[in-house]
């Protein structure tokens, strides 16, 4: 047991970690830790707060629902708070939950057990039987209004028939079937984009697309499991089982493997059975949700700040296996990063055969003491991404030695270096390293850069390996006849690909800058540079000191950009791109600096601008657009149905603009 000072320090550290992981999970759809690791941190914090009640705060993640509404969409205020669930990690914790319910009600209790879908929590609102709103859970009070995207999910009824309630709000999960999830990740990997960590994040990423057509193409599904608000002359149900039957009768998709129990031991057996059977389903589940079946009993049991006392989620343990590490392969990325990959004897994990897992960098290898020949413990993070947890030193061969990444690049034999404050080891070969050139070409053709439709990783690798392309400029000299040599490439496909290459010449300067693969220059930095300089020529002539002076650029980016354009081989490629007719001008350049030093926040729905259009206009006049209100905010632009940010702006005395007032300033 820690003393108070150490407990205070550890609690602060845990809150910061959990806040970071919440942002990654709920807002960025890109978690860096598994659900199990997150749950263990949350439990550690709960334990400290229970030991020292003075550490418990209303803002602690143990007291709040984890999500928050993202600013890309309008906001929707839920009629009733949408809670998150407490977790049970083993059989004893399930028994404790049942005991608490039994003692609170002073009698035996019936429960329903339902599959815990690995998806995105969603509320649907119907008025007079017509679907009016689809919204995410958010922080339980305010979610994102994603109605346009919900309308593209095929199995969500857009209207109800029969004796429908005046107002109905239901809750469920939007999910991606396993096949759709695998297809999306395969395509993203082919296009050089980061893959989704798990189906939940893929579903969330899909629902946050600004283009509803993307949602339709990704074939999301839904399971509805709760009625959270009802205006009706008659109460149609009194139990969870009856509620599920009623939802099904109204045309909602309801998961079919739920069951009702009065015997706690049979309930536990059901949870353990599905721990083994979970991979039989064509959608991911990460546990079993147990609810008190009688709705009147739920009213008596009530809620904590964060969770209902009448429900709990039994979380499946991570699927782990022991195996032997056969080798460590080293791959070289487009920026020269050496990435070690563990190759081990195949094992069954989460229903699939796994034989490889990324080891990320030398620090991870050292921290987990991983050596070739070791017996290792592997698992699938979130039942999706394989990872090596640690070695088993007590089973280690006597002659084993610590593993070190190579001092020279395994592809081009150039020296490798590790720069200060970086965990990555890098090849110094640059454009003489075939691996970097190949990965750079894959990045160049991807959707967020030059968007050459039909040219993915496999096509680029073939073109490179056959000597038809050695740098980005070579793409613009290809002929349809040369493309016919590629696997599965017919005349029509070759003609379409040549047209896609031609179309890419019209891409904006910001896309070209990002496509060049300049180290430290991501999508945002490329957009800033394009707006600031307006043309490729102006950017190429900029001195490092001039670059440092640009807001949102910084020292690292400035040094990297200046270095890139100082290299003769890079300039030669750029001149060939110019000769091919690639656009070197920005369509979003800074027109003037009237908003220089001013920070805007946008909230609500604007009548004449999309959120992205308003953002681009403000930035084109030197302003900055932020997603959160603070004392440093200059203006809040409030559209229709502005949410909590309007109240916060008033409290902070931030000047509030209507859409007309913003237009007048522009």
Which tokens go with 191?
Answer: 């296009």
Section 487-502 average pLDDT: 90
- Of all residues in the chain, the percent with pLDDT exceeding 90 is 37
CATH superfamily of 432-580: 5' to 3' exonuclease, C-terminal subdomain (1.10.150.20)
Helix (H, G, I), strand (E, B) or coil at 287: strand
Gap between the Cα atoms of 298 and 300, Å rounded: 5
Q: What mean pLDDT value characterizes the chain?
A: 86
Q: What is the CATH number of domain 599-665?
A: 3.40.50.10190
Q: What is the number of alpha carbons within 13 Å of residue 98 lying toward its C-beta?
A: 22
d(CA 147, CA 130): 12
Q: Among positive and negative, which fits the CA dihedral 475, 478, 482, 484?
A: positive
CATH of domain 4-55: 1.10.287.610
Tokens encoding 651: 């409290």
Q: Delimit the domains of the chain by residue range.
A: 4-55, 74-315, 320-417, 432-580, 599-665
| pLDDT value at 394 more than 80 | yes
Task: Tell me the C-alpha to C-alpha distance, in Å, between residue 167 and each of 225, 564, 624.
Answer: 17, 60, 41
* Helix%, strand%, coil% for the chain, nearest 5: 40, 20, 40
How much is the pLDDT for 330? 93
Rounded to the nearest angstrom, the gap between the alpha carbon of residue 404 and the centroid of all alpha carbons in its chain is 32
pLDDT digits (tens, 9 = 90+) for 130-184: 999 999 988 888 888 889 889 889 899 998 888 888 999 999 999 988 888 877 7
Q: Pairing state of beta strands 221-231 and 426-427?
A: unpaired
Contact 48, 11 (CB under 8 A): yes
Secondary structure class of 489 (helix, strand, coil): coil
Q: Whole-angstrom Cα distance, residue 555 to residue 553?
A: 7
Alpha helices in 25-90 (DSSP H): 35-51
Query: Which residue would you say has higher pLDDT here, 130 or 197?
Result: 130
Would you please indicate which residues are annotated as catalytic (active-site) residues? 116
- The pLDDT tens digits for 53-69 are 777 776 676 766 555 44
Alpha-carbon span 271 to 115, nearest angstrom? 9
- pLDDT for residue 278: 86
Q: Are 127 and 318 in contact (CB under 8 A)?
A: no
The band of 306, judged by pLDDT with boundaries at 50, 70 and 90, is confident
Second CATH level (architecture) for the domain 320-417: Beta Barrel (2.40)
* Burial class of residue 9 (count of CB atoms within 10 Å of its CB; 0-12, 13-18, 19+): exposed
Q: What is the pLDDT of residues 425-453, one digit of tens each?
A: 888 877 678 888 888 899 999 988 999 99
Strands lying side by side in the sheet with 259-261: 87-88, 311-315, 285-292, 111-117, 259-261
Q: What is the 3-state secondary structure (H, E, C) of 424-471?
A: CCEECCHHHCHHHHHHHHHHHHCCCCCCCCCCCHHHHHHHHHCCCCCC
Write the pLDDT tens digit of every residue in 72-123.
567 888 888 888 899 998 899 999 999 999 999 999 999 999 999 988 899 9
Give CATH for domain 74-315.
Answer: 3.30.470.30
pTM here is: 0.53
Predicted confidence band at 370 (pLDDT cuts at 50, 70, 90)? very high
Helices (H), 452-549: 457-465, 480-483, 491-503, 509-515, 523-533, 536-541, 544-548
């Amino acid at each position: 047991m820690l003393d108070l000072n150490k407990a205070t320090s550890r609690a602060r550290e845990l809150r910061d970690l959990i806040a970071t992981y919440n942002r990654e999970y709920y807002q960025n759809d890109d978690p860096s830790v598994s659900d199990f690791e997150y749950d263990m941190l949350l439990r550690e914090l709960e334990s400290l707060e229970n030991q020292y009640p003075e550490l418990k705060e209303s803002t602690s993640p143990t007291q709040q629902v984890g999500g928050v509404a993202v600013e890309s969409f309008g906001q929707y205020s839920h009629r009733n708070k949408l809670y998150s669930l407490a977790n049970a990690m083993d059989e004893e914790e399930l028994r404790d939950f049942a005991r608490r319910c039994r003692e609170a009600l002073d009698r035996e209790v019936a429960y329903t057990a339902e599959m815990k879908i690995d998806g995105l929590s969603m509320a649907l609102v119907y008025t007079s039987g017509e679907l009016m709103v689809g919204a995410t859970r958010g922080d339980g009070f305010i979610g994102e209004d994603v109605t346009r995207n919900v309308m593209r999910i095929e199995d969500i009824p857009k209207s109800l028939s029969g004796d429908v309630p005046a107002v109905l709000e239901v809750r469920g999960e939007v999910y991606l079937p396993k096949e759709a999830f695998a297809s999306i990740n395969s395509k993203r990997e082919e296009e050089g984009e980061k893959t989704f960590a798990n189906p939940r994040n893929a579903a969330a990423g899909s629902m946050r697309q600004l283009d509803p057509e993307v949602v339709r193409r990704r074939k999301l599904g839904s399971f509805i499991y709760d009625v959270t608000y009802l205006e009706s002359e008659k109460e149609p149900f009194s139990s969870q089982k009856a509620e599920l039957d009623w939802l099904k009768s109204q045309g909602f998709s309801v998961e079919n493997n739920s069951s009702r129990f009065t015997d706690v031991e049979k309930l536990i057996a059901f949870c353990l059975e599905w721990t083994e059977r979970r991979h039989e389903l064509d959608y991911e589940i990460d546990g079993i949700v147990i609810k008190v079946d009688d709705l009147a009993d739920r009213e008596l049991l009530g809620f904590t700040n964060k969770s209902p006392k009448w429900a709990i989620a039994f979380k499946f343990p991570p699927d782990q296996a022991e195996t032997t590490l056969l080798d460590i392969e080293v791959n070289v990325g487009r920026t020269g990063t050496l990435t070690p990959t563990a190759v081990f004897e195949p094992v069954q994990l989460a229903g699939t055969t796994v034989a490889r897992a990324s080891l990320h960098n030398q620090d991870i290898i050292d921290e987990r003491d991983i050596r070739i020949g070791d017996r290792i413990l592997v698992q699938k993070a979130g039942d999706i991404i394989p990872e090596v947890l640690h070695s088993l030193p007590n089973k280690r061969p006597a002659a084993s030695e610590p593993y070190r990444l190579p001092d020279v690049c395994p592809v081009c034999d150039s020296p490798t270096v590790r720069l200060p404050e970086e965990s990555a080891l890098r090849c110094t070969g640059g454009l003489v390293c075939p691996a970097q050139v190949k990965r750079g070409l894959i990045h160049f053709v991807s959707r967020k850069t030059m968007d050459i439709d039909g040219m993915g990783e496999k096509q680029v690798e073939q073109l490179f390996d056959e000597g038809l392309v050695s740098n980005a400029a070579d793409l613009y000299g290809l002929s349809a006849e040369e493309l016919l040599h590629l696997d599965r490439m017919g005349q029509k496909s070759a003609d379409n690909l040549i047209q896609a290459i031609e179309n890419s010449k019209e891409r904006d300067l910001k896309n070209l800058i990002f496509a060049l693969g300049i180290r430290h220059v991501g999508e945002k930095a490329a957009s800033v540079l394009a707006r600031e300089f307006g043309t490729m020529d102006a950017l190429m002539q900029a001195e490092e000191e001039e670059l440092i002076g640009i807001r949102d650029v910084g020292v690292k980016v400035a040094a990297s950009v200046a270095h890139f354009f100082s290299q003769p081989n890079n300039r030669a490629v750029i001149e060939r791109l110019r000769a091919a007719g690639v656009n070197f001008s920005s369509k979003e350049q800074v027109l003037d600096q009237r908003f220089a030093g001013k920070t805007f926040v946008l909230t609500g729905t604007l009548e004449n601008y999309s959120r992205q259009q308003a953002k681009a206009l403000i930035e084109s006049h030197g302003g900055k657009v932020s997603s959160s209100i603070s004392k440093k905010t200059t203006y809040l632009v409030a559209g229709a149905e502005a949410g909590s940010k309007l109240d916060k702006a008033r409290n902070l005395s931030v000047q509030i603009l209507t859409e007309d007032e913003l237009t007048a300033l522009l």
